[in-house]
Amino acid sequence: MGKEIVDKLRQPEYTGEDRCLPCTVVNLVIAAVGSLVVSRKSRLWGGLAFAGSLACIYLRGYLVPGTPALTKRYLPAEVLQWFGKDPDDVPVRSGLGGDERLEEASNASSRESEERSESTADESPAATTDLDPDEYFLEIGVLTPCEEQDDLCLAEEFSARWTEEIERVEDTDASADRVATSFGIDERDEEYTIESHDDARILRQGQRMIGQWPSNAALIADVSATAVLAEFDPHWEERSPNQKGQLLNGLRLFLEDCPGDGGAIEYNEEVVESCCQSHSVLAVTCADSGERLVEFPLDEIEA
């Protein structure tokens, strides 16, 4: 019974790594002031009120109803930056990587790469950390100029192999360990898990989030693409997980059919809500299932 109540109160979109620090601080101050007022009548009830408020903030992310909406509307950008919340940091679910923690978590058992000389690493194409995805995919034969329009399309050979691999991944059990291994992350002293939050999929190593996909279809697309890219790029296995994540996120834009149902793909402008801000993104979505494949900030595309 108690667990059911806690689960109903819990709001994962406002807690954990998604917790809004400005909201939390403001609500803690409100909780402290309110509890002090109550404690002037009764210390016992004041203490209970503060304990209950802390539990509510811990489980829900805030105490006062409507705090996230109020924060978005009234807190200026300068205040958000005091708490490490950059208004330009769009909270898109872009797949593997995105921060230095993934680099710390990756390839722990691969001692050969750690023992390479600095000069050798500098000479390797995989040592390049800032790749232009379009140029990279053109160079290795994954993309090619479209025949009927001024754009880039998947090369026929890659498209056929990717489709085959997607079907193979769909037919097997994609465990968290298998997903991590497919991306070249191999640290055996911590357990991998995949969490589901609505459509989104989160890959964790222990308590660390090392990848976040907008849907299971997006995760399947990335896992299957890693196997095929290893055939086209001789340096694929040497590339860092963060670099792989950047490339795979871009590659999903060129999907011709939706993984899973094989349906059409739609392009729409949508709004992504974070704890403190709202942002417009280009959303690439499966028309039939509604699963989202890619999110890109519109500001980046226009730039």
- Reported as a single tens digit per residue, the pLDDT across 69-85 is 555 555 555 555 544 45
Whether 93 shows a pLDDT value over 90: the answer reads no
Question: CB neighbours of 133 closer than 8 A, spacing ≥ 6?
Answer: 246, 247, 250, 251
Q: What is the 3-state composition of the chain as percent helix, strand, coil, each rounded to the nearest 5?
A: 50, 15, 35
Tell me the pLDDT tens digit for each residue of 97-116: 644 444 444 444 344 444 44
Dihedral sign, Cα of residue 106, residue 109, residue 110, residue 111: positive
Answer left, alpha or beta for residue 286, where phi above 0 means left and psi between -120 and 50 means alpha. beta
Does 161 have pLDDT greater than 90? yes
Output the pLDDT for position 142. Answer: 96
Q: What CA–CA distances, in Å, run from 236 to 102, 126, 175, 231, 243? A: 17, 7, 22, 8, 10
Q: Is the pLDDT of residue 299 over 80?
A: no
- Say what angle helices 21-39 and 67-74 make with each other, to 10 degrees: 120
Higher pLDDT, 46 or 178: 46
Q: What is the pLDDT of residues 210-237, one digit of tens each?
A: 888 888 899 999 999 999 999 999 999 8
Average pLDDT across the chain, whole number: 76
Q: What is the pLDDT of residue 175?
A: 76
What confidence tens digit (pLDDT) does each residue in 241-257 have? 888 888 998 899 899 89
Radius of gyration of the chain (CA): 23
Residue type, 231: E
Instruction: Scan for tokens 């002090």, then name that residue.
Output: 36
First to last CA, the chain: 52
Average pLDDT (246-274) is: 83
Task: Check pLDDT > 80 for residue 270.
Answer: no
Q: What is the pTM of this model?
A: 0.65
Q: What is the pLDDT of residue 78?
A: 54
Question: 4 pLDDT exceeds 80?
Answer: no
The reported pLDDT for the residue numbered 164 is 93
Structural domain boundaries in the chain: 2-82, 95-257
- In 3D, which of 260, 258, 262 has the Cα closest to residue 294? 258
pLDDT over threshold 70, residue 272 = no
Residue 162, pLDDT > 90, answer yes
Contact 229, 236 (CB under 8 A): yes
Whole-angstrom distance, CA of residue 249 vs CA of residue 70: 33
pLDDT of 203: 87
Mean predicted confidence (pLDDT) in 10-25: 71
Query: Residue 87: is its pLDDT beyond 50?
Result: no
Residue 288: pLDDT above 60? Answer: yes
